[in-house]
Amino acid sequence: MAKLSLFERRRRRVRTALRKRAGGRARLSVHRTGRHIYAQIIDDAEGRTVAAASTLGVETSGANVDAATQVGKRIAEAAKQAGVTTVVFDRGGYLYHGRVKALADAAREGGLEF
């Protein structure tokens, strides 16, 4: 078995803890890169993506906190249209700080509960 990076170990630890306390709720997963930030709501029971939003194709000034806030608002709107109101927040291996926190706060303001 190959040795996992610290990021991958942290990501697996977060996902394992989420599965224990998810209680059948959908998962709001966040992925960020140097240029973009992505969010998707995943129904793990069915194994499909219910809603998604990102900075791709949107005129923003990169993947900064303002762009993450816009993605958070858009993912909350998309979730409402899909009929999802409560989720568990999957930050992946990222620290809950900066862009990840801004996305989560905007999603809460948009009506998602987690």
- Listed by start position, the domains of the chain span 6-109
The two tokens of residue 10 are: 């942290």
Instruction: Say what the pTM is.
Output: 0.91
Range with the lowest mean pLDDT among 14-23, 33-42, 89-98?
Answer: 14-23
Please state which architecture CATH assigns to domain 6-109.
Answer: 2-Layer Sandwich (3.30)
Q: What is the pLDDT of residues 19-57, one digit of tens each?
A: 888 888 999 999 999 999 999 999 988 999 999 999 998
Q: Which residue has the higher pLDDT, 22 or 102?
A: 102
DSSP-assigned letters across all residues of 66-113: HHHHHHHHHHHHHHHHHT--BEEEE-TTS-SSTHHHHHHHHHHHTT-B
